[in-house]
Amino acid sequence: MLLMTFIRVSRRLVSRRLTWNFCKVITARMSIEKNVACYETIYRNVVNGKAEPMSVPAENLVRMIKLERIAPQVAESDVALDFGCGDGRNTKFLSDRGYQIIATDVSQAAIDATRLRMGAKPIQTVVLGIGAHRIPAADGALSLIVSWETLHWLGSREMFAHYFREFVRVLEPRGHLVFTMPTEQHYIKLNALEIGFSQYQCQSENREDMIMYAPNLPTLRVIIREHGFALKTVKTYAFGDDSPEWGGAHNRFSMYAFHCVAA
């Protein structure tokens, strides 16, 4: 009797947990769809000449790549992935550094803007779409992956883990992974509602109701280690000012930047 009661209760708890996890994934997917709609507008305006693209690569990415001495072993042969390429400003930087390029994004307009920036330079571009997809590269084919100010918008632990497994699959031994995640002082995270483990519903203007997956630094260190990466460097950077756009001087755009090496 007690055993049957225990089994029934356990099944209910498991069912509720699975339902809750499923709801979190669906909520994150809806958030990504909202992000896509936003970026489609932004980057389509760039493609149509109605807005100017960012003129230079992210300065903190450039600084990390150069300070960590990350460069192709064989110029024009080693392949780098720009995961979440946006308008292609970092894509072009990696290409100019001597990498063959694969650029992915969830937005077709972003891919179009990247191709426009790259001009005649050879590049493989792929719209990954929403959800868990296979990165368009063979096992061990890449020497570098860059995902700059992107991964937290995957929105859930499940999606984050999926793409980390994909990074492991496509990187060659000793290949480099460079990525960013929000710090605890990021203004969006500070103003967000925590709706799950490291999962936040944004309240800030222009990001309202979008879902962000943003573990703290100790958790990120564990995730990196559990996926077989060696963490070489972690740095922080922040920018913003007193204007309302940034939420005040104490609520700045604050990010961790990681350099990891595959086993």
Taking phi over 0 as left and psi of -120 to 50 as alpha, with beta for the rest, 123 belongs to beta
Q: What angle do CA 244, 250, 254 make, to 5 degrees?
A: 95
Alpha carbon separation from 215 to 178, 210, 219 (Å, rounded): 17, 16, 6
Q: Tell me if residue 24 falls in helix, strand or coil.
A: helix
Least Cα distance to 232 among 69, 68, 73 occurs for 68
Q: Does residue 13 register a pLDDT over 50?
A: no
Give the model confidence (pLDDT) of 31-68 as tens digits. Answer: 778 778 888 999 999 999 999 999 999 999 999 999 99
* pLDDT of 23 over the 90 cut: no
pLDDT for the residue 27 = 58
Structural domain harbouring 178: 2-262
Average pLDDT over residues 254-261: 97
Q: For the purposes of burial, counting CB atoms within 10 Å of the CB of 231, is it exposed (0-12), middle (13-18) or buried (19 or more)?
A: middle
Alpha-carbon span 193 to 201, nearest angstrom:
5
pLDDT of residue 206: 78
| Residue 58: Cβ within 10 Å count | 20
d(CA 48, CA 144): 31
Which strands form 211-213's sheet, in the order they lie side by side? Answer: 193-196, 199-201, 211-213
CATH number at residue 103: 3.40.50.150
Tally of domains within the chain = 1
Q: Report pLDDT digits (tens) over 75-98.
A: 889 999 999 999 999 999 999 999
Closest CA to 263 of 185, 196, 175: 175
Give pTM, 2 decimals: 0.86
